[in-house]
Structure 1
Amino acid sequence: MLKTTRAADRAGAVLQPVLQWLRTGDNALRVAVVAAYAVMVLLGATTSSIGMGHLRQDPENPLGTQLGLSSGIRSDEYNAYSPIALSVMATGGAPTLSAMGARADLVHRFTSGGFFESFVFFDSGLLKLAGFLPDANVFAAHWWLPVLLLLLMMPKWFEQVGGTRRMGWLAAGLIALSPCVAWWSMMPVALIAYTLTGSSLMITAYHRFNRGQRLVAALAGLAGGILIAGMPSFYTPWSLVLGLPVLVASTLWILTRAGSLWTRIRPVLLTGVTAVIFGIGILVENSEGLNALFSTVYPGSRRSSAEAQPFALLFGAPALSPLQNGSVPVQANASELSTSFAVAFIWIAVLLAGSRLVPSVRRGIAAWTVLAFGLVWLGWCLVDLGSLGEKIPLLNLVPSVRSAQVVGVLGVIAVCLLLSMVDGRRWKTAVVAALISGAVTAYAASQMQAQYLPDMRFLVIPVAGAAVAVVVLCVTRYPHRSWPVALAVVLAALPVYRANPLVFGLGDLRESETAKVLYEAGTEARDNGTFWASNLGSFDTVSLANGVPTLSGLQRSGPDMEMWQRLDPDNEFEEAWNRGGGYVPFNWAPGAETNITTNGFDVTFVQVDPCVLADAMPELGHIASTTELQVDCLQAERTLQWSGSPVYTYRVLQD
């Protein structure tokens, strides 16, 4: 009995500090976030739409477990982003994009082995753990990493720049649950999370230097600079809108602190120089692909101007719940229609007009900076500048509609920072802000019904307005309580929680017999330096996902001029193939003349005799076709099944 009592006392002595730590601040919430991430990783669960019917061996008998329906509109995700990630896992290096395209590392945040990009695109390095760990778990870890960083770092960053962690959690929740995040496969989160983390590390370096902890400060500054260096990658327009304000706000916060100039400039200089060195490094390593992309007919070096966007598009995010119920918009699609909570700017206007305590410029420098950027990008969506707008640096890189889709993220960050600093005890301000914000939302919802979602039920309009009003009222009145934050997050989740499926594992892209055959074929082709080519886009997708080098498939950067000129030596069809960010499907036409056409945007159609292709491309090893081919240069090998149909594979007989 005495031994049992002593053991219990020792256990209590160990647990008591742990329990005390969990009761302090928001430590329990952070633990819950990390635990949720771990659970999703262990289950191999994501919200990917790779379970689309055309990405199945037999659509009537799908493999794996999926809750909810795949999102058909997210073709870039299930045809490109996710297969590229799976391809990195299969090869242990660069993905097997179409050999007709130039290097696309910067466009898709993966590394082909370059020194600088190996550090900056560390998240793609995570995918290489598939050589030791199950593919589904590694894919899930990569999928949720930006969300994990957002949820952990936003509250910390808020606290660092003078806000409260509670409002930081609210900002992170509203960003993660924005319709633009749900209907763009979490892309906006990925485009702010790494810059946010890097900016927070820069502020950490500032504090550590002040405490005399130079080694820790130096490591934090270096890590922050490396993370910030990746800001222009992936999708640059949104990186500028979302990442740049956070970086500038963090920099100005440090530079406006008390103390000597060297004390303030040292962490900024360390982080900034690191970011510049690594940023230039990845640009140099990817110069070939960038030059090819900028020289394309589409998208080329396009410049955009400010354009007035519809009121419904800007402020209608809370009323987009019909999209998850299957409503099909007119004049747009679900992704193009999805935005964030730009009504936050209306909330800010009333808050500042009615508050007795507006933070000073120095105290609220982060809030004012983010708000200033937000107003600039909001103006980019409200005023038509014509050709004048195309001459404004940085802004002209962002199409107005793209700004409209994510500018609400800046509004959310700004209002949450201000709520951390202004007087929240006045009912009058809270009520006025709630009524005006709710009315704006209801009007935007009615316009949404009139312009985009004619089958929207009338009840959605008052409910969306009321939900926004309740959130604004409660959060404004009680900004230092936790329950309004929880209420806001729950209500924000209602329009999007069924937008995407919950998928466990990798389904047919890894587990089907066809995928397994292609996985082995990919290893053989990479060892031999040969390519495959097919006339079925979905077969190209499963080939990419399993590391099969291809000629058809994805041309995500600009074209490889030398490869295309083998097919088109006189550049007769250059306007059709000199494109980036798109797809290259082949059409087998024995005996016909080679013809290359385009849909005018991102698809290049190649009609070619398979033997002509084999003559032009000596590296061509296999051809896959949905129809049987009887030509002298091909030898039938085996028949696979994909998308519910037979796919005939042939070995190319080279002279």
Structure 2
Amino acid sequence: MSPLMLSRLQSISVRGWHWVSVSDRLARIAVIAVYAFLVITGATTSSIGIGELRQDPSRPEGHQVGSSSAIRSDEFNAFSPIAISIMATGAAPTTSYLAAPADVVHRYPSGGFFETFVYFDSTLLRTATILPDAMVFAAHWWLPAVVLFLFLPKWFEQIGSSRNMGWLSAFLIALSPAASWWTMMPIQLIAYTVAGSSLLLSAYCGFTSKRSVLPLVQSVVGGILLAGIPSFYIPWSLVLGLPVLAASALWILTREDRLLPKTKALGFTGGVALIFGLGTLLENATGINALLNTVYPGSRRSTGEAQPFGFLFGAPSLGELKDAVPIGSNQSEMSTAFTVTFVWAVVIWLGISAMGRWRDNVVTLVLAFSGGLWLLWCTFNFGPMGAQIPLLNYVQPARAAQVCGIIGALLVGVLLSRVPDSHRWRLSIASALTTGLVTAYAGSQLQLSYLPTMSRKDVLLAGAGVAVVVFIVTSFPKSVFSVGIAAVLMAIPVYGSNPLIFGLGDLRASATAKYFYSEGTVSRSTGSLWASDRSSVDTLLLANGVPSLTGVQRSGPDMSKWTILDPEQRFANDWNRGGGFIQFFWTPGASPTFSNNGTDRTIVHIDPCDLKKSFPSLTHITASQELSGACLNLEKELTWSGQETLVYKVS
């Protein structure tokens, strides 16, 4: 090659990398700008605008684009109302008085020193006393996604990979059907771990450069973020959080550098994580013990089992979920991340002729091992032996199948950063054909089983779409346009699956909500309790900070309080349950009865006057029909869910 030609190529390369750098900065600015816009407008993709959470469903408050989904009941009956309740109380949410604390399960502090920092995202909800509720709720809602997009490209760069591929992996995670149909839960479970791991790596670089103050601050903040790994939905926390942390720590340990910077970074960050993590768990020992001792889900142990091929690899074909309910399942249970990224990663790995030393591939090896382990857990029948394996036995294979593709997204991003220019076209074609065929086959399996309404055209388009994305990205991994095109195509299966609601809807703006908001302030100051006979009213009470016997029981029961209702604990199997709700039905003159719906709902039929005798602090109940009883006095008539709701004072 002539010197002139070489000079021109070098000039083009420099300009190309400059463009990538500029585009990366613009992308970060765009992320922050979009976040600011969403916060200012109070826009979220929550389903709290569903008809049952409206005063009058035919005349809803506020503005919403798209329809809310009933399948997201955990979100609009628990996750979101808990956040809104914290804004109402300025402290802990008013979950059921009969329930043990659920701070760990829902990442919120209720007064503990350590948890106030570890669950910083929920601590920020208390700023609702300063800012409008809608803005604070939106800020909390989108924060994990913003953290993911700002820190994942940086993490990629820190481990020696391409920031561009970090953006690709972020889109693969954020736009997956699992993230969409589980209301961004997988994003929250990995975003703060990525941020904490990135700060750990930054601290290591700082200590290597012999700086002291900034790396120490980074270690403290990173450690606090990492301390939150064992929280929220713990099975997914195990699947998603540990691989990123392990990869980051091992990357530091395998550097050919002085031992002191490694010791400082890992020692300070790990020490803070250990102190704040253990401190948070000790502060919440009561709630954790309640969860572990429940009939469901605490006593449940799982073993590895083979999952259907279509379920495991069919994410790109799940656009049909917007219009159809799967046979024998539902949209949330069927949604997965892009597990096909593992297939893509294998082809890329086989196509890279020289991987280099093992220490240069430590992140790749950790991600491959973790991803392979969870893939094995959901593709192989372990039998009774699997239920004895610690940690793994807490993760149902179907749950592992839903999110292990997120590890695949990280793995393929790291590998694509190392694709050589030579033979790139062959690798692009091989990757595109392989992933396209796997996707098409998985889609056809879904059509034969869960989604018979899906057409052959949809199956072929999904396979073709994956092939196009894989071909373009593998051919041009350094191009920002290839990532942009991939993001657009990835969004197709989930486009329209979530509504866009501005504000908090009727949970704050309706007359009924304003009444309960006022009553909640009085009840909290006097220590009085309410109870209701309708789940939608329970959600309204929770969202407005009204202390109640009914409502959310997420970690497990408070045994001392439940034994007041069931002294001999004869019906403990019905009420000793977590991850669910407590619902009362009023039966004046009848003895109490207990039951459950098999999973997440404890049902109690009881005379409200007997309930008053058991809990003297009960002052009000709501009823969906007229009641008579010596202790009941009708106080107010309201409307909720388009139905009459009667408020009785219990004396």
TM-score (norm 2): 0.96
Among candidates 598, 608, 612, match of residue 610 of structure 1: 608
State the match for 1:409 in structure 2. 406
Counterpart position of 2:379 = 382
SS of the aligned residue for 1:543 comes to helix
Change in 2 beyond 3 A, CA 1:159/1:476: same
CA displacement, residues 428-481 of structure 1 (integer Å, 9 cap, x when unaligned): 121111111100000000001111001011111110111111111111121111
Match of 1:144 in 2: 142
Which runs of structure 2 are paired with 1:336-347 in the superposition (5 Å)?
336-347=333-344
Offset, 1:298: 1.0
| 1:261 equivalent among 236, 259, 262 | 259
Range with greater deviation from structure 2 (419-428 or 516-525): 419-428
Task: State the match for 2:507 in structure 1.
Answer: 509
Deviations 1:102-136 (A, max 9, x none): 11101100000100000100000110010010000
| Distance in 2 (alpha carbons) for counterparts of 1:25 and 1:604 | 53
Q: What's the RMSD between the two structures over aligned residues?
A: 1.2
**Equivalent residue of 1:649, what SS?**
strand
Q: CA deviation at 1:84?
A: 0.3
Q: Deviations over 1:536-574 (max 9, x none)?
A: 110000110000000011111111111111111121211
Give the 5 Å matches for 1:305-324. Answer: 305-324=303-322
- 1:361-400 alignment to 2 at 5 Å? 361-400=358-397
8 Å CA contact 2:20–2:479 kept in 1: the answer is no
What's 1:156 paired with?
Answer: 154
* Deviating more after overlay: 558-567 vs 168-177: 558-567
Aligned-pair distance for 1:23?
6.7
In structure 1, what residue type is equivalent to 2:624? T
The separation in 2 between residues aligned to 1:442 and 1:100, in whole angstroms, is: 49
Counterpart in 2 of 1:520? Answer: 518
Residue 328 (str. 1) matches residue 320 (str. 2) = no
What does residue 10 of structure 2 align with?
none
CA distance in 1, matches of 2:21, 2:481: 16
- The answer to whether the 8 Å contact 1:167/1:417 transfers is yes
Give the aligned partner of residue 542 of structure 1.
540
- Paired residue for 2:580? 582
TM-score by length of 1: 0.95
Is the partner of 1:258 in helix, strand or coil?
A: coil
SS in structure 2 opposite 1:238? helix
Give the aligned partner of residue 8 of structure 1: none
Give CA-to-partner distance per residue, 1:519-538, whole Å, 9 cap, x none. 00000000010110010110
2:528 corresponds in structure 1 to: 530
CA shift, 1:590, in A, is: 0.5
What amino acid maps onto 2:120 in structure 1? F
Secondary structure at the aligned position of 1:73 is classed as: helix
Specify whether residues 573 and 259 from structure 1 end up closer, same or farther in structure 2 by C-alpha distance, changes over 3 A only.
same
Q: CA deviation at 1:425?
A: 4.0
Equivalence map 1:453-464=2 (5 Å): 453-464=451-462
1:128/1:152 CA distance change after superposition, 3 Å? same
Give the Cα–Cα distance (whole angstroms) in 1 for the partners of residues 394 and 421 of structure 2: 39
Query: What amino acid sits opposite 1:416 in the alignment?
Result: G
What does 1:183-202 correspond to in 2, within 5 Å? 183-202=181-200
Structure 1 residue aligned with 2:53: 55
Task: Give the Å deviation of 1:651.
Answer: 1.1
Aligned equivalents of 1:416, 1:71: Cα separation in 2 = 33
Aligned mates of 2:147, 2:463 — CA distance in 1: 31
Counterparts of 1:487-498 in structure 2, within 5 Å, are 487-498=485-496
The Cα offsets for residues 503-529 of structure 1, whole Å up to 9 and x where unpaired, read as 001110000000000000000000010
Seen in structure 2, the aligned counterparts of structure 1 residues 464 and 115 have a Cα distance that, compared at 3 Å, is: same
Which residue number in structure 1 is paired with residue 599 of structure 2? 601
Contact 1:241 1:407 (C-alpha < 8 Å) held by counterparts? yes
Residue 444 (structure 1) aligns with: 442
The one-letter code of the counterpart of 1:371 is A
**Aligned residue number for residue 6 of structure 1:** none
Contact 1:357 1:422 in 2 (8 A): no
Name structure 2 gaps, 5 residues minimum. 1-17
SS at match of 2:386: helix
Corresponding residue to 1:116 among 114, 117, 127:
114
* Matched residue type, 2:362: I
Alpha-carbon separation, structure 2, partners of 1:145 and 1:267:
26
SS of the equivalent of 1:323 reads: helix
Q: Deviations over 1:142-179 (max 9, x none)?
A: 00000000000000000000101100000001110000
Question: In the TM superposition, what whole-angstrom CA distance separates every residue of 1:312-357 from its partner, at most 9, and x where no partner exists?
Answer: 0110000001112x21100211001000111111111111222223
CA distance in 2, matches of 1:633, 1:353: 76
Distance 1:348 1:132 in 2: 48
1-structure distance, mates of 2:467, 2:23: 28
SS, match of residue 636 in structure 1: strand
Q: Any stretches of 5+ residues in structure 1 without a counterpart? A: 1-19
Q: CA deviation at 1:21?
A: 11
* In structure 1, C-alpha distance between the alignment counterparts of 2:362 and 2:30, rounded to whole Å: 31
Give the match for residue 166 of structure 2.
168
Change (3 A) 1:166 1:22: closer
Specify which of 480, 483, 487 is matched with residue 481 of structure 2.
Answer: 483
How many percent of aligned residue pairs carry the same amino acid? 53
Q: Is the 8 A contact 1:63 1:508 kept in 2?
A: yes
* Secondary structure, aligned partner of 1:584: strand
Letter in 1 for 2:575: W
Q: Matches of 1:198 and 1:353 in 2, distance apart?
A: 32
- Would you say the 8 A contact 1:425–1:477 is kept in 2? no
Give, in angstroms, the shift of residue 391 of structure 1.
1.4
Please say if residues 20 and 480 of structure 2, whose CA atoms lie closer than 8 Å, have aligned partners that are also in contact: no
Query: What does residue 5 of structure 2 align with?
Result: none
SS in 2 for 1:320: helix
